[in-house]
């Protein structure tokens, strides 16, 4: 094929670039490409092909969702970025060297249904897992892969077995650790949460939630046509580790002094079951959320109600409850000044200090959101429109729409340095330049979950064909 004089310099530069990558042993990821404008994407063309991520490793025997909603999945970097944890067959956790993709350890349990929760300790030297069936907590030495100790969970009876299988989820949840990693919270019964010393396994305090509901009554209601909701204990630490909020699928969350186990407040006012809670980044506020999406904003020191956010309530079917059991449909901005509520309802911005509604974002049916580090930009995705939308938080004005993808975007993330914006759908993962909206790369075989390393240099994703991937992002 004869090249025109105008294309010759471009092709020569491309060949030289490819040669340079080959000399440094860089391998292009399968399906990873920077795209010029196409009929499929409508992305703006760029005069020069953007650098593509390098495929560091393909990790075999990954067990994750074949579609966005599916089997439990885990992809997580250690705080120091040196290790990567993924979910494997039969709910084991596989630990890899993040720089090379070399398998280091496999964490497993002999209990039926395996592991359903995982966390790295803040120092990256210890991992914590929770057995799916009886909630037993296990601590692991990441220098040897050996189990350090096990903290016995619930009694092994019929009720425990039925509840273990009853909670839906599309991701591994986390094991509640104090911010300093010194204390781990373990569920003993429907009402009881025990705080253990992570170093010794000794019991510190017991939080008696006193759940205001019963399985027998719930089953009876279901027999007469009402929805059946599981109890699902989810304790949450404040950023400074001094407070704990417990929610258990009843209507009365509780606020505790973490050191003494003293009950500070029983949080009244919710008319529906509460499954999610989260503190603001500065620790001064926290939010509780019901199964229908109603959120209450409270003072962290006292539990006093500051505002009930009057967002649209959704009466979810049982099979649509997956996100509400594990992932809040609200988020605080990094500066703790703004709160966003979202997911299958109006996306709204609230003043987090007063609870006053600031703006309702037009045509923003959001499944996932993320704030920029400076709290001035909100990125949303979901619905059948753009791959993602970028909003100016102070004015609620739409700044940019990323071109419509082949399939609906379900997840959005921003690299720690705010250079790369990630969108994920069942058709693959796209990487965008956050500053100008340029499409940097399309990773066809990559899937949700997707996580950036703490330094933003690596990207780990789920994938098709029971594999996960580690990519190195080009320096820009």
pTM for the predicted model, two decimal places: 0.83
Diameter over CA atoms, the chain:
80
The DSSP-derived string for 35-82 is: ----TTT-PPP-SSPPPPPEEEEEEES----SSSSSS---EEE-TTSS
Please check whether residues 41 and 158 belong to one and the same domain.
no
Domain boundary among the residues 147, 181, 208 is at: 208
DSSP 112: T
CA dihedral 240, 330, 415, 468 (to 10 degrees): 100
In sequence order, what are the residues at sequence separation of 6 or more whose Cβ sits closer than 8 angstroms to the Cβ of residue 160? 133, 134, 154
Q: Is 226 left (phi over 0), alpha (psi -120 to 50) or beta?
A: beta
Please check whether residues 101 and 152 belong to one and the same domain.
yes
- Beta strand segments in 113-258, E: 115-120, 126-131, 137-141, 147-151, 183-187, 192-197, 203-208, 234-237, 243-247, 254-257
Give the range of the structural domain holding residue 127, as residue numbers without chain letter.
71-208
Write the CATH number for 106: 2.130.10.10
**Does residue 87 sit within a domain?**
yes
Separation of alpha carbons 288 and 296, rounded Å: 5
Please check whether residues 44 and 81 belong to one and the same domain.
no
Give me the helices (H) in 280-406, please: 322-326
**Total number of domains constituting the chain:** 2
Please check whether residues 109 and 176 belong to one and the same domain.
yes
pLDDT, tens digit only, all 476 positions of the chain: 434 443 434 343 434 334 333 333 333 333 333 333 333 333 343 334 456 899 999 999 998 754 444 456 899 999 999 999 999 998 899 999 999 999 999 999 988 788 989 999 999 999 999 998 888 999 999 999 999 999 987 766 555 555 545 555 446 889 999 999 999 999 887 678 999 999 999 999 999 988 765 555 555 555 544 555 566 778 999 999 999 999 988 899 999 999 999 999 999 988 888 888 999 999 999 999 988 888 999 999 999 999 998 666 666 555 455 555 567 889 999 999 999 998 766 899 999 999 999 999 887 778 899 999 999 999 999 876 799 999 999 999 999 999 988 888 889 999 999 999 999 998 999 999 999 999 999 999 999 899 999 999 999 999 988 899 999 999 86
| Centroid of chain to Cα 52 | 25
Separation of alpha carbons 109 and 383, rounded Å: 39
User: Angle at Cα 85 formed by Cα 82 and Cα 88, nearest 5°?
Assistant: 150
Is 116 in contact with 91 (CB distance < 8 Å)? yes
**Does residue 470 sit within a domain?**
yes
Query: Beta 254-257 vs 243-247: how paired, if at all?
Result: antiparallel
Is 311 in contact with 347 (CB distance < 8 Å)? no
Q: What backbone phi and psi angles, to 5 degrees, belong to 181? A: 75, 5
Nearest Cα neighbor of 197 from 208, 207, 187, 183 is: 183
């Amino acid at each position: 094929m004869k090249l025109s004089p105008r294309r010759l310099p471009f092709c020569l530069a491309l060949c030289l670039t490819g040669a340079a990558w080959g000399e440094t042993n860089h391998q292009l990821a399968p399906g990873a490409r920077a795209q010029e404008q196409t009929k499929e994407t409508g992305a703006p063309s760029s005069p020069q092909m953007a650098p593509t991520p390098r495929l560091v490793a393909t990790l075999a025997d990954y067990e994750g969702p074949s579609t966005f909603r599916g089997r439990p999945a885990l992809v997580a970097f250690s705080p120091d970025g040196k290790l990567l944890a993924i979910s494997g067959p039969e709910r084991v956790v596989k630990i890899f060297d993040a720089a090379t993709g070399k398998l280091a350890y496999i964490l497993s349990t002999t209990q039926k249904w395996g592991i359903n929760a995982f966390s790295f300790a803040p120092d990256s030297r210890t991992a914590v897992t929770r057995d799916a069936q009886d909630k037993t907590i296990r601590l692991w030495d990441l220098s040897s892969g050996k189990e350090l100790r096990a903290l016995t969970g619930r009694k092994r009876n019929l009720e425990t077995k039925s509840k273990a299988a009853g909670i839906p989820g599309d991701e591994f949840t986390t094991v509640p650790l104090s911010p300093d990693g010194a204390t781990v919270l373990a569920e003993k019964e429907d009402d009881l949460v025990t705080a253990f010393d992570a170093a010794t396994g000794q019991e510190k305090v017991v939080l008696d939630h006193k759940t205001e509901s019963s399985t027998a009554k719930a089953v009876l209601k279901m027999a007469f046509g009402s929805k059946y909701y599981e109890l699902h204990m989810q304790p949450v630490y404040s950023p400074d580790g001094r407070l704990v909020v417990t929610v258990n699928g009843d209507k009365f969350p509780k606020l505790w002094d973490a050191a003494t186990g003293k009950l500070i407040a029983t949080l009244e006012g919710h008319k529906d079951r509460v499954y999610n809670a989260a503190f603001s980044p500065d620790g001064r506020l926290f939010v509780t959320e019901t199964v229908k999406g109603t959120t209450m904003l409270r003072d962290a020191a006292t539990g006093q109600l500051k505002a009930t956010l009057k967002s649209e309530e959704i009466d979810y079917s049982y099979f649509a409850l997956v996100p509400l059991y594990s992932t809040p449909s609200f988020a605080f901005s990094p500066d703790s000044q703004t709160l966003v509520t979202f997911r299958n309802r109006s996306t709204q911005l609230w003043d987090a200090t007063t609870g006053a509604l600031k703006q309702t974002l037009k045509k923003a049916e959001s499944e996932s959101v993320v704030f920029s580090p400076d709290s001035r930009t909100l990125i949303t995705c979901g619905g059948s429109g753009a791959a993602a939308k970028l909003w100016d938080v102070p004015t609620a004005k739409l700044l940019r729409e990323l071109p419509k993808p082949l399939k609906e975007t379900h997840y959005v993330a921003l690299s720690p340095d705010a250079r790369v914006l990630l969108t994920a759908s069942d058709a693959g993962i796209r990487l965008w330049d956050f500053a100008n909206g340029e499409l940097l790369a399309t990773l066809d075989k990559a899937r949700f979950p997707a996580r950036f390393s703490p330094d933003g240099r690596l990207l780990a994703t789920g994938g098709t064909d029971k594999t996960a991937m580690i990519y190195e992002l080009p320096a820009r």
